[in-house]
Amino acid sequence: MQRRNLGSAGLVVSTIGLGCSGMTGDYGIPDDVESTATIHRAIELGVTFLDTSDAYADGRNEQLIAGAIKGQRDGLVLATKFGNIRGPNGERGRVNGKPEHVLKACDASLARLGTDVIDLLYQHRVDPDVPIAETVGAMARLVEAGKVRFIGLCEAGPDTIRRAHATHPLSAVQMEYSLWSRDAEDRILPVLRELGIGLVPYSPLGRGFLTGMFRKRDDLIASDRRHAHPRFQEGNFERNLDLLDTLDQMAHRLGRTPAQVALAWVLSRGADIVPIPGTKRRSWLEQNVAATAIRLAKSDLDALDTAFPPGAASGPRYPEGQLRKLGI
């Protein structure tokens, strides 16, 4: 497994990471045994970059990772997030970027992860009621205290990124980015490259849609969170299926899976980009890792750009209420 640099402060990670959020809910039925085996297999394959958050299953995701990596912590890059507050029944939408919360959340994540340092700490969502310099200032104090090595933001606009980076250098910005979510290209990526900040795409497979595994809405169980996302809802879902034709045909011709071609496209966008496809199954993990060896020809990249131009997907990437709160 090759390595890539995130930012200019010395953070080095595997070319591809492992998104762990789906291991404890949201997508399908949790399976702790298989999820743990998937993390072990990722380490065997050279994946060093594991991504979680204190918001995933109210911290249980961090605890799952802690159990899985016990005795194997050395050489891993643990990334977690704070600030995305869930209600007692999992309600979304609340954000807390107050400095005192930053410090408290970090200590709680350290305890759940069973480690004395977080390699990369993100603010999960920007708090519009707290100046970003105050939040990032608190994160910087955690770096000074040795509790955090590097910091980043998740889903932030260009002005926010600039102000945050001026307070303390950011190593990464995490944002949804894939063939059908290319919002980052216009306003975010140019700023990141100007400032020397890496991009960490989450949902690089379009929340699983680009794998081609879902051909009708009933393929998702009733409790699957994707039913709440506009692109998976009636009408949009069916129109989005048409986008998959070029991807399917190319994958067949290359002897690869649609997911591998979609990941290879993301990886081709720059050496400062490290996707974190999420899975809780070893079989999908192994396919994802194999995508790092694929080098798409220019003609293939051009064909994908034509088939998936910015804005091609039917429906926004989040429900409108959530999208407005991103502030991008």
- The residues annotated with a catalytic role in the active site are 56
Rg of the chain over Cα atoms, rounded to whole angstroms, equals 19
What is the widest separation between alpha-carbon atoms in the chain? 54
Token duo for residue 92: 């979304």
Token duo for residue 171: 């190593």
DSSP code of 230? G
* Alpha helix ranges (H) inside 45-98: 60-68
Task: Give me the helix-helix angle, 258-267 and 244-254, nearest 10°.
Answer: 100
Q: How many residues belong to the chain?
A: 328
* Secondary structure of residue 38 in the 3-state scheme: helix
In sequence order, what E strands does the chain have?
A: 3-6, 11-14, 18-19, 49-51, 77-82, 84-85, 94-95, 118-123, 148-154, 172-176, 198-202
d(CA 165, CA 184): 18
The CA-atom distances, in angstroms, between 295 and each of 47, 237, 265, 306 are 19, 30, 9, 18
DSSP code of 25? S
